[in-house]
Amino acid sequence: MPEPPSNSADTGSRELTILNAIARELNRPVDLSESLRTALGLVAQLLGLRTGWIFLLDEESESAYLAASQNLPPALVASPDWMDGSCFCLDTYRAGDLGGAANVNVVRCSRLKWFVDGTDGLRFHASIPLYAVGKKIGVLNVASTDWRKLSEADLRILYTVGDLLSIAIERSRLFARTAELGAAEERNRLAREIHDTLAQGLAGIALKLEMADALIERGNDTERMRDAVRQALELARHNLEEARRSVLDLRAATLEGKTLCEALTLLAERWHADGNPQVTLDLVGAHRPLEQRLEIGLYRIAQEALTNIARHADARQVVLRLHLTPEYAEMTIEDDGRGFEPYRAIKGHHGLVGMNERARMLNGWLNVQSAPGEGTSVNVKVPAE
């Protein structure tokens, strides 16, 4: 009679099943952040771990940002700025001292050591480096409240997971670069279209007006003069519609070449240069990329909020906060100006209607808090996907 399968065989089969599930998830054509979060959950299930997070390096600046997390301790959820910037494992990784998974040791978490409560007992974690074709991509961290030293088998699995994550991340970035090239081609197409439509239309308007001017000098054909002016007006109306359409098509060029945080910094500098108060910026997760539609929408809301402050607030201090996490993007613009009654202002179209509409278009919400003499706070929060 054959012997029943061993526990090790069952464990190996379970590991292969979960690794296959991770591979399938990472190969799905969905948002990378969602795939990373799902992969973290499967890793936790595979190794009996509770908490995990992934830091990625920005391709240009190599600055780190939190790309995904699984069951972060309450202290870090309540203080997202503690997951911003560098830490011991990232510094070690950049220095090249964090080797392959087989050489990973338990690393004390510098983000948690100052917290007394709210860490669920976490103090240590394993850090798995992520590489693609020898290029540094980021770090996968995993931890558990009942910490144990990971076995060689666990580390081999994590090494495999790290390879799968690296491939998925690099593929996503290649896809994004391809999309950017397509966007550049589309902008070039629109530029040619503007030249072929608006430029020619303006030339036609100029020709008709020159004809009308010549007829005025002669003063002997009033009907032909009126006809030339009418044709010029018709061409002007047509070209105005063309201009509006082209501007809408080109609206995505607002942040071209800049991250949202860079664009907001430049916006604040220009606003101050125009004679307004200096804007204090508080940017958390500044290197985390967002979808272009989210970046443009948030930038426009900030632009409108600063315009309102300049026109109506008579403020001396302005603060702009932007916190980017894997789950959401939250922005707050506060001033110490004269304030107002928000509901009455909305009826008066003080720019709040447009900001509220933009927030809804991004599947988010806008909240305005103000009262006469007490300043104003505009808060917008949108999902990061």
Question: For residue range 136-173, what is the model confidence (pLDDT) as tens digits?
Answer: 899 888 877 665 667 777 777 888 888 888 888 888 88
Is pTM beyond 0.75? Reply is no
- How many CB atoms neighbour CB 98 within 10 A? 21
Sheet order of strands, 124-132 included: 64-70, 51-57, 135-143, 124-132, 106-108
Q: From start to end of 72-164, where are the E strands?
A: 106-108, 124-132, 135-143
Taking only the tens place, the pLDDT of each residue in 279-313 is 999 999 988 888 888 888 898 899 889 988 988 89
- Which range among 57-71, 75-89, 314-328, 345-359 shows the weakest confidence by mean pLDDT? 345-359
Provide the H-helix boundaries in the chain. Answer: 7-27, 32-47, 74-78, 88-94, 152-194, 200-218, 222-249, 260-273, 292-308, 342-347, 352-361
Burial 289-311 (b: 16+ CB within 10 A, else e): bbebebbbbbbebbbbbbebbbe
- Amino acid 320: pLDDT: 97
- Cβ burial, residue 287 (10 Å; 0-12/13-18/19+): buried
Please answer whether residues 281 and 264 qualify as being in contact, where contact means their C-beta atoms are separated by less than 8 angstroms.
Answer: yes
Taking only the tens place, the pLDDT of each residue in 266-283 is 989 989 988 899 999 999
Amino acid at 89: C
- Which range among 197-206, 346-355, 365-374 shows the weakest confidence by mean pLDDT? 346-355
Consecutive H or E run containing 369: strand 365-370
The answer on pLDDT for 244 being more than 70 is no
Domain residue ranges in the chain: 7-178, 181-253, 255-383
Name the residue among 289, 285, 256 with its Cα closest to residue 60: 289
Whole-number percent of the chain with pLDDT over 90? 18
Amino acid at 370: S
Whole-number percent of the chain with pLDDT over 70? 75
The answer on pLDDT for 185 being more than 70 is no
The answer on pLDDT for 204 being more than 80 is no
d(CA 324, CA 69): 13
CATH class of 7-178: alpha beta
- Amino acid 3: pLDDT: 37
Name the residue among 138, 132, 162 with its Cα closest to residue 43: 162
Q: Which two tokens stand for residue 221?
A: 């054909």
Taking only the tens place, the pLDDT of each residue in 212-222 is 888 888 877 78
Amino acid at 219: G
Please answer whether residues 356 and 366 qualify as being in contact, where contact means their C-beta atoms are separated by less than 8 angstroms.
Answer: yes
> If you count them, how many residues does the chain have?
385
Residues contacting residue 75 through CB under 8 Å, at least 6 positions apart: 82, 112, 115, 117, 118, 119
Taking only the tens place, the pLDDT of each residue in 71-123 is 887 777 777 887 888 887 888 888 876 654 433 445 566 666 655 555 565 65
Domain 255-383 belongs to what architecture?
Answer: 2-Layer Sandwich (3.30)
